[in-house]
Structure 1
Amino acid sequence: MRHLKLFLLCSVSALFINFNAQAQKRDTEDEGLSLDGSPIDGQFEYIIKKSNSYKDYKVVKKNMLETLKSHTMDTLNAVRKDLVDTQQKVDEQATEISNLKTDLASTTDNLNKTKEEKDSMALFGIQMSKGGYNVLMWSIIGILFALLLLFIYKFKNSNAVTRQAKIALAETEEEFEEHRRTALEREQKVRRQLQDELNKQKKM
């Protein structure tokens, strides 16, 4: 409020100074000057020219002063209204700037989060950098590949052992069959010999 009063006082002073400067430049004719159609400085000049002189003083009509006061108050009210409107616009712009700053901060935060998500990968709910994610995935792939090679080796080795076991089994079966044949032949031979001995004993 103090600033507004100071501004109004400065405005009135400027109006009076402007009036004096304009009054010195104008000639003594009253053409174009009035209390209704002229600006404030023109109204002051009009009153001065229409006033009577008495020694170093000017005698001004009361109704002219009242009219000038009314016009001056209207001008000051208009200036005050412009100031209020300007202050309102300034406040609105300050609020808008504050909102824009808030939006900018939120947008910047979202952008940073988006960059972090773009530069990272989620594994089991854990955010990891792309480099760490790639190292981990290639490590897992390497381990799985090594296990696959180990499985293939074990499988081939197991097949080789199985084949050797089958070969050994076949050889054993063949030896067993040969032994069985030999034993059968020996048994048959012994039976024939026994039968021959029995036959000999009967003849005797």
Structure 2
Amino acid sequence: MARVRRAEVRERVLAAAAGVFAEKGIAAARMADVAAAAGFTRGAVYSNFANKAELVAAVVDAASDRVAARGAAVFDPAVAPSALPDSLGALVAGGPLVDRRLALELAVQASRDPGLRATLAEPRRRQRRVVAEAITAYAAARGLTPPVRADVLAAVLLALVTSLTIERLVDPDGLPAEALRHALAPLLPA
């Protein structure tokens, strides 16, 4: 049997940890649960992450990068301004369920845990920077002026996406796509 590369082990452990944290909650999840979900021993998990706090921080970084990339992709200059509300609506409605549940779990845990709150701060700032840069590039490429500064718009849009994602987790049919499109349209460059 071929040996699995260290980078692949790390990626599989991160993916498994995101799933376990989203399903069981960070507090209830054990490193043994993560190892089992990844298909490795606890030793493989601990050879990549010294402890659960380090694993949580790495999961936060990876999840944050995924959110930033999806958020920035909304502002692809090839997307017409009239399509932006639908693209943002797809961002709220789409994405892997594990990422949406993980976002909710991280928010809940961070409200109770100052250490996790500190761990989340820089990745969240990075998300806002990446999306703000995408908004700025989009507006420049399209000759548009955003209704507010790009950094403020990025923060508001990411907060709305997070809140609406939580709302859709609780009540998937409670927010029709049309209502979402109308709510987001005034915030976007046109």
TM-score > 0.5, shorter chain as reference:
no
User: Which TM-score applies when normalising by structure 1?
Assistant: 0.18
Relative contact order higher in (CA < 8 Å, ≥ 6 apart):
2
Which protein shows a greater Rg? 1
More helix as a share of residues: 1
Query: TM-score, normalised on structure 2?
Result: 0.19
